Chain A
Amino acid sequence: DVVMTQSPLSLPVTLGQPASISCRSSQSLVHSDGNTYLNWFQQRPGQSPRRLIYKVSNRDSGVPDRFSGSGSGTDFTLKISRVEAEDVGVYYCMQGTHWPPFTFGPGTKVDIK
């Protein structure tokens, strides 16, 4: 099974400042079809997860452009250019290349300093 790791696990940020979350996979997430199936999800307190980014860098509809995804192979990053109060929550990366099983990272908790 592909193991997903994230760092940091806790990220206190200052409003208006940038934030960055790293996600690493135990093997390359490049699929035989050429795509890399790496998603990022946001889970605000008391809410269901919401997909922000799919296939490494594609933002979902309605996701603010301050969120961006990048990376390749086994190393991926979610960046928030300027953190806003509504960004508080837990962020998960998830791989959909080598499944079953689909595997999630442990989550990174973002809160305001």
Chain B
Amino acid sequence: EVQLVESGGGLVQPGGSLRLSCAASGFTFSSYSMNWVRQAPGKGLEWVSYISSTSSTLYYADSVKGRFTISRDNAKNSLYLQMNSLRAEDTALYYCTRATWDYWGQGTLVTVSS
């Protein structure tokens, strides 16, 4: 059974940092590109970042470019999102998804507030 389990969310002050993780199981993680998608409270879905299976290709939404870094460790079946210089508008539920869009995690909540 494919599972994606996010962790690492929490309350952080503006300007702070947080690292999200996504643990993958039930499929050959190293064969799949992955995405991070976020959803602000009561709002719609926003794509955040993409990483290819070998980490050779990375893409970011303009809203997070220069502040967020996506990475992965295929040996650990894990996806990461390093978030720096956090802003109030980054407050959201963050989901990891396979780049085929067929499986999503349950999300981890990031709250940026003083």
Find B101's partner among A94, A100, A103 (CB 8 Å cutoff).
Answer: A94
Q: Does B11 contact A (CB under 8 A)?
A: no
Give the tally of cross-chain contacts (CB within 8 A).
48
Q: Residue on B with the closest CB to A37?
A: B101
Residues on A with beta carbons closer than 8 Å to the beta carbon of B41: none
Instruction: Say whether, besides A100-B50, A104-B46, A48 and B105 are in contact (CB < 8 Å).
Output: yes
Find A104's partner among B45, B50, B62, B102 (CB 8 Å cutoff).
Answer: B45
Give the interface SS of chain B, mostly helix, strand, loop or mixed: strand
Residues on A with beta carbons closer than 8 Å to the beta carbon of B106: 48
**Cα separation A48 to B104 with both chains bound (whole Å):** 7
Find B44's partner among A50, A54, A92 (CB 8 Å cutoff).
Answer: A92
**Cα separation A101 to B60 with both chains bound (whole Å):** 8
Known contacts A49-B104, A92-B44, A107-B45, then 19 further A-B pairs from the complex at CB < 8 Å, ordered by chain A residue: A41-B45, A41-B101, A43-B45, A48-B104, A48-B107, A50-B104, A51-B101, A99-B50, A100-B59, A100-B60, A101-B47, A101-B59, A101-B62, A102-B35, A102-B47, A102-B50, A103-B47, A105-B44, A107-B44
Interface residues of A (CB under 8 A from B): 39, 41, 43, 48-51, 54, 60, 90, 92, 94, 96, 99-107
* A–B pairs, 19, beta carbons within 8 Å: A39-B101, A41-B101, A43-B45, A49-B45, A51-B101, A54-B101, A54-B102, A92-B44, A92-B45, A96-B101, A100-B50, A100-B59, A101-B47, A102-B50, A103-B47, A104-B46, A104-B47, A105-B44, A107-B44
